[in-house]
């Protein structure tokens, strides 16, 4: 009898910078590569581009208009998509940093904080097992250069790998709101 199959290790998607408006998000082997960019000539629109390794093309998968404002809007599918208010896409939690969004398959996911770190869980999961876990950057002596970039540990669940575009867009919206409320306190 063969031994049981080992569980796949989580995908580690690493951020290149700490900015929410200009960074790249990649796997270690570069099979998945997302670019989050805000051009200076369109300073109000943040685009989430996905790099296709086979065709060597960047495709815009989502856009966020007014990420740094109080009422941002989101559009999926490039120029053919419809703008929706960020409050309709992500239902924010009133008491805590976090919110709930729906994946294309209709599954509800929720961003929550656990010990100061953002985690993504299925809204209907009674165990609240994290599907994606955000790890913030670390610095040498808390001030110098980064010793470790921030990253996501994403469980290799098929429905979440299909919804990575929405995961990234929702994370940017929830994190921007969390950073803004932390400054206002």
d(CA 6, CA 103): 27
Q: How, if at all, do strands 99-102 and 108-114 pair?
A: antiparallel
Domain count, the chain: 1
Please name the residues in contact with 47: beta carbons below 8 A apart, sequence gap of 6 or more. Answer: 35, 36, 37, 38, 39, 60, 62, 63
Reported confidence tier of residue 27, pLDDT bands at 50, 70, 90: confident
Residue 4 maps to a domain: no
Q: Establish if 3 belongs to a structural domain.
A: no
User: What's the domain range around 148?
Assistant: 11-184
DSSP structure string for 5-65: PPPPPPEEEEESSS-SSSEEEEETTSSSEEEEE--GGGTTEEEEEEEETTTTEEEEEEEEE
Q: Is 90 exceeded by the pLDDT of residue 63?
A: yes
- H/E stretch holding 82: none
* pLDDT for residue 75 is more than 90: yes
Which residues, at least 6 apart from 167, have a Cβ–Cβ distance to it below 8 Å?
109, 120, 132, 154, 160
Residue 159 lies in a domain: yes
User: What backbone torsions phi and psi does residue 177 show, to the nearest 5 degrees?
Assistant: -65, -40
Higher pLDDT among residues 173 and 162, named by residue? 173
Q: Say how far apart CA 185 and CA 179 lie, in whole Å.
A: 10
- Residue 1 placed within a domain: no
pTM as predicted: 0.85
Helix ranges (H only) for 45-163 are 86-89, 158-162
- Residue 6 in any domain: the answer is no
pLDDT tens, position by position, 80-119: 889 999 999 998 887 777 888 888 888 899 988 888 788 8
> How confident is the model at residue 35, as a pLDDT?
92
The answer to whether position 113 is within a domain reads yes
* 67 domain residue, yes or no: yes
5 in any annotated domain: no
Residues 91 and 101: beta-carbon distance below 8 Å: yes
Neighbours of 19 (CB within 10 A): 11
């Amino acid at each position: 009898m063969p031994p049981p199959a080992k569980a796949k290790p989580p995908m580690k998607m690493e951020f290149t910078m700490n900015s929410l408006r200009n960074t790249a998000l990649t796997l270690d082997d570069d099979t998945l590569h997302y670019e989050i960019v805000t051009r200076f000539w369109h300073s109000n629109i943040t685009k989430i581009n996905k790099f296709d390794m086979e065709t060597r093309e960047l495709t815009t998968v989502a856009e966020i208009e007014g990420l740094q404002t109080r009422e941002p809007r989101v559009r999926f599918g490039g120029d053919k998509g419809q703008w929706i208010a960020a409050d309709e896409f992500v239902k924010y939690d009133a008491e805590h940093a976090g919110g709930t969004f729906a994946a294309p398959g209709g599954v509800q996911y929720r961003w929550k904080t656990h010990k100061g770190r953002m985690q993504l869980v299925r809204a209907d999961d009674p165990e609240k097992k994290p599907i994606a876990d955000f790890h913030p950057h670390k610095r040498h002596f808390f001030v110098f250069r980064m010793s470790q970039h921030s990253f996501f540990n994403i469980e290799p669940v098929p429905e979440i790998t299909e919804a990575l575009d929405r995961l990234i867009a929702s994370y940017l919206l929830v994190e921007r709101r969390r950073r803004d409320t932390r400054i206002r306190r």
